[in-house]
A and B are shown apart, each in its own frame.
Chain A
């Protein structure tokens, strides 16, 4: 599937066994193209987070397949999936998931450490890259602050810088504005829209936040683990 950087094909996921078995996703097929910000919406329990976990190689479907840059992840070992997450995917989480003991810049550089880029290029290069990214996200004066000293919007921008430092083609965001005030939320929406539009990232966002509909190029609606609507905006 060369035209799609990311795709799920007839994917089903269920949890538990026997009478307690719950189906989270049933026969979902979706393709995500570069330069598009896709918004996945749906009520609680509709399977949004399960779908995001599948796309991020954090879960394996019981049936069906997930393709990342054309590679079927079903055929990948755990080590290869980790490598895909390091190289191809940037994650942005609702709870930010920053390392509390590290400063803003260290939180960004750690992704390079994990990816081995810090050794490939030199730690200095990674730091310069992190400084540029944080500055471009409006955090120039806050590079050395720890997460506890940053506002919610600032934390999320650090998380975006962390997601971007290894230059992944795919960005997956789980409720990225849920913990933010309206102004910070709008800024994050704008940043992610620009990343899709100007830098040709494939951006997939799971959110309940209606503000996203005006920023998204496509909206997918899930209900009871099935796609009930797939709309281009």
Chain B
């Protein structure tokens, strides 16, 4: 271990470059992992924020953002199924939001019945705290909308509210801000009541987009789902978890966005692998005569492998620590631009595994060079 540490720190400039390369790779892996995790969470954020046990959606609907209209009477039919406590409606559509300076911005308008979910930011009653979740018996202020703080600048929303705006050329009033609902679509989310949303969107009264089903306590959700699906064969009934997972898979794999983010994280791994391989290999070749000496002195192949792998892992550990230190401020700096980025504690902690694996892999070429060196070389001056 002492020899390994001395070998890699003997040339301080090379050691610094190696550690920097590894820390860049670690940073990339954590940063892209945070984007991927945040993207996954954002892709199903609205679904997960509802308290619904089951979701009824049009056939083939893969995610919340791309909904198709379904008949509103399905909600009445659903309530006739044993175990269904109540149903709520929720819809989404891209609409034009006219800012105070008269310019337009496309937004994703989400309208939901009250009681759709404790975490869903339906506009509160006038006088309630802005952004607070709607209570069970709340009525929603007319034409009231709520925006996410992260999009306030884009929508020119001042700190002082309310603010009168227009949505699809109809009057609306921004009454509050919420947080944690930064949109990953490029179009900010705007929340309002179901009735106002259907009016802004022009959704016919006999249609809706999603029906949220709450199951009575004591009833098995899967069983209620099966009965609902049998009763409503023209729509798709899913549990909240199923729909949430489907949306995540859709956004990550079918749109290519997740693939691109994942590719960047994998790229980080390979950049690191290349940098460390090159650095460890050149360190080994620089010390190849010392490895020949070790071999001549009787060192086993296992001993030499341990020295080289220890070199790689020590560099990896130093690079990992620096990478984690870099990541924290970088993610803080990125948050205003990528509000949905998410870095749970276990992500940087878990990256130590690929980081060290990368370093161990990088040492393979060096190990081969060291254990095949000709020991009789030591007699040449």
Contacts and interface: CB of A to CB of B under 8 A. Distances in A.
Nearest to B375: A58
9 nearest A-B residue pairs (beta carbon): A86-B298, A101-B6, A85-B298, A101-B10, A58-B376, A97-B293, A114-B299, A53-B376, A94-B381
B378 interface: yes
Interface in B1-59: 2-3, 6-7, 9-10
Interface of B: 2-3, 6-7, 9-10, 289-290, 293-300, 303, 375-376, 378-381
A221 to B, nearest CB: 19
Contacts of B9: 101
A14 B300 CA distance: 27
Contacts of A110: 2-3
A131 B2 CA distance: 18
B12 to A, nearest CB: 11
Given A99-B3, A102-B6, A111 B376 contact: no
Contact of B296 (A56, A79, A115): A56
Contact of A85 (B2, B3, B6, B296): B296
A85 B379 CA distance: 15
A220 interface: no
B15 to A, nearest CB: 11
A91 B376 contact: no
Interface of A: 49, 52-53, 56, 58-59, 79, 82-87, 89, 91, 93-95, 97, 99-102, 106, 110-111, 113-115, 162, 174-175, 178-179
Contact of B303 (A85, A114, A174): A114
B298 A83 contact: yes
A87 B298 contact: yes
Nearest to B2: A106
Contacts of A97: 289-290, 293, 296, 378
Nearest to B6: A101
Contact of A82 (B299, B380, B381): B299
B300 A82 contact: yes
- Which of B294, B298, B303 has the largest count of A CB atoms less than 10 A from its CB? B298
A114 B302 CA distance: 10
Contact of A59 (B6, B299, B300, B376): B376
A114 B6 CA distance: 16
